[in-house]
Structures are given as structure tokens and as C-alpha cells.
Amino acid sequence: METAVSLPEARPAAPPYPYRWAVLALVLAADIMDLLDATITGIAAPVIAKDLGGGHELSQWLQAAYTLPFAVFLITSGRLGDKYGRRKLFLLGTVGFTLASVGCALATGPGWLIAGRAVQGALGALLLPQGFGILKETFPKEEIGKAFGFFGPVLGLCAVGGPVLGGLLVGADLFGHGWRMIFLVNVPVGLLMVLGTLRWIRPGRPDRAIRMDVRSMLLTAFASAAIIYPLVQGPEMDWPLWSLVLLAAGPVGFVVFVRMQPRRPSPLVLPSLMRNRGYTGGILVVSAFFAAFSGLMLVLSLFLQGPLELSPEGAGYAIAPLALGIAVTAGPAGKLAETHGRRVVQGGIALAFAGLGLLAWMAGPGEWATSGWHLLPATLLTGLGMGLVIPPLFGMILSGLTEEETGSASGVLNAVQQLANSVGVALLVTVWSAYGDHGYAPGSALAGTAGAVAVLLLLALAATYRLPKPADAVPAPADAVPAA
């Protein structure tokens, strides 16, 4: 007689967290707040400089003071979330970012405002990386891809609306606060995020055994500052020797950082990433492309509100065709990249290059660009090209990496992008100012700056040949897409 063997019953799968979509909304709100603060000040910079003093130097520092600490701390803040708890750091970052925004709005001088922007950037770096980990802990595997699918359209809409919103807020002069409203708008958003975090985001499981690589953190901080600071201050002081020494020391610091990572017990950047041809090529593309993009946006704002004497609101509308072009091509770019790989990025860079040529011709010696609308064909064409680059680029770079590498890789890419933003603003505003200092007309200065942007795009184009070929292009893991 056979004995019946009873098998243990399979445990039913745990039901999905009922408030997971509210958690997604909170993470998206954090990314939106960061992206708006990174772009909205560009359009308000001339008005802020006129009110507080500081000229072009303040315009550069408004961007650099935010993105420099953001880039420095972004690589390590993800590890801090693993060690101390992502919900705790998400909450701390939200509260701190909101208070820093109030501090910026209360600024009475350039130094105060620049310090407030630096605090914003540091706390933004603490806040943003926690979002991806929180979503991975909140959503089941079968829904995580759908959740991350919201980031592209939402953040693309913010990129389109950021400059326009900045112009509207400054022009509306709500409650008599003028440009200060671009910072105060964060207060209600931050308060709702704090309440939502306490209500809906579940505490995770921190790993206190993780070790922080303080030496690598300090080295990246030094190398970043050694590049940004002399680019901003050097032209104002006629390039003293110390500024040139710092500029040379910055890249050397990054080389030392990369070479020391294999010997660190808990490296900030996995050594295997530095041996990946597609990834290192992608770092070069991101560096050159985003330096070109961020610097061009600020120089256009300076041109429109300076020589053309447009209001911030008018300048926002004049820049809108560039953002509109990005929105038009960003949608199909991802699908095209799945079949055509790096050719889509290369085509986008070529289209943006053509737009810059048209911009230089329109604003050049003929001096017939007497309003922002005269630049519309050039800015629209440039935006159409950029829209083909931005959506697929990060996924293309991260495709083919292992699951263990994607967290470190996406954090480094985000940091490189933010550092490139700072370098691009400092470099291209320096070029713009140099043309003016040597007696060139504003249109010729804009044309010359467009030429410098074109050089950066050519460098990005050359680096794309290290990206995966069309046959190798595969979508990146959903949790590897950068936040902003």
C-alpha cells in the first residue's frame, strides 16, 4: 500500500501595495522639482543679476552653484540611502530642498543666493537617487517597467515648460515677489511631498554594514571644483596663473579617481564599467552633448533679454520653439533607437548641428535677427535634433550592463550630466562674454558662441561610434533610466 505524500501548498503571492501609484507620483514630483530648478533660473538670471548685482558671473553661478554639489554628491547619495534608509533620506532631502528654496527667495545679495543654490543642489542630490530604490521596493516586477515609463513624457514636458514657466512667474510678479516666485513655487510642492512621504512611502531595510569611500568622495569634489571655479572666475580676473593650474588639475584628479577605484574596498564606480567600451564612450557623449545644450540655453536667454531687450516672459516664449522641437521628436526617438541604435543619436546630433549653423547665419554679421521670433527656424531645428538624442541616449549607454552594474552606472551618468551642465554654462558664457569684451556686436557674439556649441556637438558625434551598433541596441533595464 502506497503512502500518499502531501506537498506543501504554494503560498499565494502578496498583493501589490495599494498606494504604489501615489508613491510614483511623489518620486516624479521630486524629479520635476529638480528639473524645474535646474532650468527655470536660466530665463530669470538676467533679471536676478540686475536686481542683486553680479552680471554674467552671477548668471553662471546660479547654474554652477546648483549642479556642482549635485554632481559631487549624487554618486554617493545612493549608497547613503542603502546604508541609512531611502525613505529617511527622501524625507530629509525634501524638507531640506524646500527650506533651501525659501532661503534663495529671501536672498538680498549674490553671495546669499549662490550659497542657497549650492545647498539646494546638495539636498537635491540627496533626494533624487532614493526614488529608484523606493520604486523597486514598492512595485512588483511585472509593473516596474510601466512605472518607469512615466518618467520620459513627464520630464520631457517639464523640459518644454521650464523656461516658459520661469518667464511667466517673473513677468506675473505675483504678490510683488518678482523673480523670487521661481523659488517659492517649491514650497507648496515640498509640503505636499512631505505629507505624502509620511503617509505612503514604507520604511525600507537599511544596510548599516555598507562602508562609505570618503577619500573618493573628496577627490571627486576637488576635481569638479577645480574645473568649474576657474571657468567662472578666470575671465573676471584675466586668467591668473592659479586658475590655469586648477583647470589642469581637475582632469588629472578624475584620472586618479578612476585609477584608484579597483583598489578601493567599496568603490564608488565599479571597475568593470571603466572597461566597457560602450559605457565609456557614452560618458564622452553625455559630457559634450549636455555641456553644449545647457550652455546654449543660458546664452540664448542672455541674448534675448540683453541686446534684444525682451522681458523674461518674452524670452521664455522665444526659447519655447527649441523646447517644442525636443517634444516633437522625443516621442518617436525611443522606438527608432530600438531598431536603428546609435544612428538615431547621430542623426539627431547632425540635425542640431545644422540648426546651429542656421542660428549663426541668422544672428551673424547681417544683424537682422532683431527679435526672438527671427531665430525660430534655427531654434526649432536645433530642438528637433536634440529630441532625437536625449530619450534613447541613456538607455543605449546602459544596455548590455549587468544588473549589478546598472545602479552604479546610472548614478555616475547622472553625475556626469550635472557636471557637464556646469562646465557648459561656464565655458559658453565665457565665450559669449569674450566676444563682447573684444567689441563684437551681440549678433556676432551669438554666432561665435553657436560655433563653440557646434564644436562640442562634433566631439559628441565622434564619441557615438563607441555606442552599440544598431544590431546590438537593446532597451536598458527599466530601473537604469536616469531621473533627470
What pLDDT, in 10s, does the model give residues 226-264?
A: 887 887 777 778 889 998 999 899 899 988 988 888 888
Q: How far apart are CA 138 and CA 144, in angstroms?
A: 9
Q: In the 8-state DSSP scheme, what is residue 16? A: P
Amino acid in the structure at residue 52: L
- Buried b / exposed e along 275-287 (16+ C-beta atoms within 10 A): ebebbebbbbbbb
Which positions ≥6 away from 236 have C-beta within 8 Å? Answer: 57
Query: What pLDDT, on the 0 to 100 scale, is given for residue 45?
Result: 81
- Cβ-based neighbours of 399, under 8 Å, separated by 6 or more: 278, 468, 472, 473, 474, 475, 476
Orientation of helix 312-340 relative to helix 151-172, angle to 10°: 170
Predicted local confidence at residue 187, as pLDDT: 93
Count of CA atoms in the C-beta half-sphere (13 A) of 186: 29
Quickly tell me which residue has 504678490 as its cell. 175
The pair phi, psi for residue 91, each rounded to 5°, is: -65, -45
Are 250 and 223 in contact by the 8 Å Cβ rule? The answer is yes
Distance separating alpha carbons of residues 100 and 119, to the nearest angstrom = 6
As a whole-number percent, the residues of the chain with pLDDT over 70 amount to 86
Residue 145: all three cell numbers together:
517597467
Quote the CA–CA distance of 333 and 264 in Å, as a whole number.
39
Beta-carbon neighbour count of residue 350 at 10 Å? 14
Instruction: Give the amino acid at 193.
Output: M
In whole angstroms, what is the distance from residue 357 CA to residue 159 CA? 23
The CA R_g of the chain, rounded to the nearest whole Å, is 23
User: Averaging pLDDT over each range in 39-43, 84-88, 190-194, 271-275, which range is the top one?
Assistant: 190-194
Question: Residue 221 class from Cβ within 10 Å (0-12 exposed, 13-18 middle, 19+ buried)?
Answer: middle
Identify how many contiguous H helices and E strands the chain contains and give both numbers. Answer: 18, 0
* Count of other CB atoms within 10 angstroms of residue 321: 21
Q: pLDDT at position 409, please?
A: 74
Q: What is the pLDDT of residue 174?
A: 76
- Of 284-288, 391-395, 429-433, the range with the lowest mean pLDDT is 391-395
Residue 208 pLDDT exceeds 80 = no
Residue type, 122: A
Most confident of 160-169, 302-311, 468-477: 302-311
Number of neighbours of residue 201 by Cβ within 10 angstroms: 24
- 31, pLDDT greater than 70: yes
The per-residue pLDDT for 155 is: 64
Cα 77 to Cα 202: distance, rounded to the nearest angstrom: 19
pLDDT bin (cut points 50, 70, 90) of residue 478 is: very low
pLDDT category of residue 391 using cuts at 50, 70 and 90: confident
pLDDT range class, residue 471, cuts 50, 70, 90: very low
Q: What are 150's three cell numbers?
A: 512615466
DSSP 269: S
Q: What CATH superfamily is the domain 267-484?
A: MFS general substrate transporter like domains (1.20.1250.20)
* Among 167-181, 297-311, 417-431, 445-459, the range of highest mean pLDDT: 445-459
Give the residue range(s) of CATH 1.20.1250.20 domains in the chain. Answer: 17-204, 267-484
Q: CB–CB of 86/137 below 8 Å?
A: yes
The three cell numbers locating residue 33? 522639482
What would the pLDDT profile of 411-432 be if each residue is shown by its tens digit?
A: 677 778 777 877 888 788 888 8
Which of 11-15, 157-161, 414-418 has the largest mean confidence?
414-418
Give me the architecture of the 17-204 domain, per CATH.
Up-down Bundle (1.20)
For residue 356, give the C-alpha cell: 546651429
Looking at the predicted structure, is the pLDDT value of residue 481 above 50?
Answer: no
pTM across the whole model:
0.78
pLDDT band at 392, cuts 50/70/90? confident
Among 78-92, 270-284, 398-412, where is mean pLDDT lowest?
398-412
Q: Which residue has the higher pLDDT, 335 or 87?
A: 87
Q: Give dist(CA 301, CA 318) in Å, integer.
A: 9
pLDDT at 13: 61
Distances (CA, A) of 116 to 111, 122, 217: 9, 10, 22
The C-alpha cell of 167 is what?
518667464
Q: What was the pLDDT predicted at 235?
A: 75
Q: Residue 350's pLDDT is what?
A: 96
Q: Angle CA(254)–CA(259)–CA(263) in degrees, nearest 5?
A: 130
